[in-house]
Amino acid sequence: PSGQREGGGDGSTSQETAPTSAYSSPARSLGDTGITPLSPSHIVNDTDPNVSEQQTFLVVVAIDFGTTSSGYAYSFTKEPECIHVMRRWEGGDPGVSNQKTPTTILLTPERKFHSFGYAARDFYHDLDPSEAKQWLYLEKFKMKLHTTGDLTMETDLTAANGKKVKALEIFAYALQYFKEQALKELSDQAGSDFENSDVRWVITVPAIWKQPAKQFMRQAAYQAGLASPENSEQLIIALEPEAASIYCRKLRLHQMIELSSKAAVNGYSASDTVGAGFAQPLAKEHVRRNRQSRTFLVENVIGEIWSELEEGDKYVVVDSGGGTVDMTVHQIRLPEGHLKELYKATGGPYGSLGVDFEFEKLLCKIFGEDFIEQFKIKRPAAWVDLMIAFESRKRAAAPDRTNPLNITLPFSFIDYYKKFRGHSVEHALRKSNVDFVKWSSQGMLRMSPDAMNALFKPTIDSIIEHLRDLFQKPEVSTVKFLFLVGGFAEAPLLQQAVQTAFGDKCRIIIPQDVGLTILKGAVLFGLDPTVIKVRRSPLTYGVGVLNRYVEGKHPPDKLLVKDGTRWCTDVFDKFISADQSVALGELVKRSYTPAKPSQLVIVINIYSSELDNVSFITDPSVKKCGTLRLDLTGTSNTNVPPRREIQTLMQFGDTEIKATAIDIATSKSVKIGIDFLNY
């Protein structure tokens, strides 16, 4: 077949071109040359030989950059069975006990970094309202990466005072802050200075994030100085449910709560495990933690639950956090117990933020949307206070609760409402026909348990519905376990809903310190990144090529005649399909040849699509995500065959994909990372 493809076409635009489409075709734009596939493409499953020569790091630090809260944990490579969770931070909230800090950041009026977490919140809160308007306070900004369709390095975020800031800057500031905190803690512990070069960093992201968001996180980390493009191996971007999965494999029976067995449901009293948000570990666990209770021992064995799993068994990890819920289906590969992703990650924006949003809608219903909008802008610190008060009550919601939940309204809310409307908050509550919310004499909103449960309902319904759809899939029908992890998994209402819907289909398991599961798993992943063996490609990848034009098969508007040869332009030559299994480190190879033999600058454009069936790079779903430019000028032409072979390789790494083009005759090569942000 290769013989039919000779002939020329030299990339320069010529008069014979067919009508151009909206996109620039590889063969038509100036200086950009057509390439054409050499005989049958083949996939070679080599793993890259360079992968094994790994750098050695003294410590692995994982950062869980969450929508609502963030934290880090670390482990020294010398004693990988000890995972240390970051020091407790000053300024925790009443009713919220955890090792993480709120994902909030404060910049000075000059837009310089000021503080992060509780410190940022408290400082902002203490500012005079007239001053506060000048400062830039941001919270829950991670969702922007999920919701922005056309994310770029220039994407903006809006601070509480309505001013815009570059998202990349904010993410870099936050990561830099964690870097400094972690290095400081490590240096204090070691009694000597820790350098950044001693650390392998792991940052977790939702599995359902699109490629641009994952790349954005990596760019922000480079800007924060965690690693550099030249030393990209120092940073691993891990997928949240995968990290959780790795940790769940190590669980012992006393480190989890099983919802499906009778005992656990009877022990389901508020005073027991659930009401305490699993903060009280079982006695056995006490003995195994050190006095600071920040170090968790992960025995280097496969946990009991895991030993019940056999080759080929499947389980679902449902990672429910503040912003998103991610679901991943894994299968066990023995003997090493490697994991294989069976079904591409699904999920959506059904995190606990949905509950906050419902509360805000309820306030709008009672006090009027116009008032709430104004209040947020005019009294941003008081609005933050109100949401903090709601957060601690939100955590007290439980299926069997009978007494009401009281939410303190900040004084400035009551005061500002009176000025705004001319009547009291109490009057508004009486007048609104919201049955479940009353005004208590102590100046609080008093919500019945039903009212609170109603705020959870839309979000929990979305999660259950999504899981139902997932369980319909043939690959998922025979799942043995469901691991419920992430911060929102602490919510008894969610636990009960999952239990009711799926308790008869599989065993439902919640790790004891469920909010830290991902963090600990991410550390384990950093210590041994080879544990995840197979992933599903979220996108279809390919390159734009010229093929011989076939009458009747190719559309006439793709015809290009060059030097008497008829080419079909814009053909999408597929490397890998969406949802295809890809082993980590796997190389996919293709060979091309320049459409015109004398060509010396060879440009290969790489494209991606969320769809499986893509024929042309002009199809609406196709986006350009990389360009390989191989310049062969100045290479000797003595042993170059008439049909020069250009080999193109794509290597599928953690969340990164690298592409390389090699001129076989001269072994000259060029390498790039696929780029979703700059095209």
Q: Is 670 in contact with 629 (CB distance < 8 Å)?
A: yes
Residue 627 has pLDDT above 90, yes or no: no
What pLDDT band is residue 277 in, cutting at 50, 70 and 90?
A: very low
Residue 576 has pLDDT above 60, yes or no: yes
Average pLDDT rounded to a whole number, residues 428-446: 80
Residue 310 has pLDDT above 60, yes or no: yes
In a domain, residue 425? The reply is yes
In a domain, residue 266? The reply is no
CATH code: domain of residue 197:
3.30.420.40
Question: What is the structure's pLDDT at 472?
Answer: 87
Task: Among 165-174, 273-282, 512-521, 557-566, name the one with the lowest average pLDDT.
Answer: 273-282
In a domain, residue 384? The reply is yes
Does one domain contain both 70 and 205? yes
Does one domain contain both 441 and 558? no
Does one domain contain both 84 and 202? yes
Question: What is the structure's pLDDT at 418?
Answer: 92
What pLDDT band is residue 482 in, cutting at 50, 70 and 90?
A: confident
Residue 656 has pLDDT above 90, yes or no: no
Residue 178 has pLDDT above 60, yes or no: yes
pTM: 0.73
Phi, psi of 585 (to 5 degrees): 85, -5
What pLDDT band is residue 107 in, cutting at 50, 70 and 90?
A: very high
Question: What is the structure's pLDDT at 114?
Answer: 94
What is the number of domains present in the chain? 3
Does one domain contain both 443 and 545? no
Does one domain contain both 544 and 442? no
**Percent of residues, the chain, with pLDDT higher than 70:** 77
Please, what is the average pLDDT of the chain? Answer: 77
Phi, psi of 117 (to 5 degrees): 75, -145
What pLDDT band is residue 674 in, cutting at 50, 70 and 90?
A: confident
Last residue of a domain, one of 415, 433, 454: 454
What pLDDT band is residue 12 in, cutting at 50, 70 and 90?
A: very low
Give Rg (Cα) of the chain: 28
Phi, psi of 503 (to 5 degrees): -60, -25
Question: What is the structure's pLDDT at 109?
Answer: 93
For 256-268, the DSSP string reads EEESSSHHHHHT-
Residue 380 has pLDDT above 50, yes or no: yes
Q: Which of 55-59, 214-218, 285-289, 575-579 has the highest mean pLDDT?
A: 214-218
In a domain, residue 574? The reply is yes
In a domain, residue 302? The reply is no
In a domain, residue 315? The reply is no
Q: Is 661 in contact with 626 (CB distance < 8 Å)?
A: no
The residue with greater pLDDT, 86 or 24, is: 86
CATH code: domain of residue 637:
2.60.34
Measured CA to CA, the distance from residue 312 to residue 339 in angstroms comes to 10
In a domain, residue 650? The reply is yes
Last residue of a domain, one of 454, 472, 493: 454
In a domain, residue 399? The reply is yes
Last residue of a domain, one of 209, 240, 271: 240
Measured CA to CA, the distance from residue 293 to residue 274 in angstroms comes to 20
Question: What is the structure's pLDDT at 106?
Answer: 94
Question: What is the structure's pLDDT at 146?
Answer: 67
| List of residues 6+ apart from 128 with CB closer than 8 A | none
Range of the domain at 556: 539-673
For 67-126, the DSSP string reads SSEEEEEEEETTSTTEEEEPPPPS-PPTT---S-EE-EEEE-TTS-EEEETHHHHHHHHH
Residue 461 has pLDDT above 60, yes or no: yes
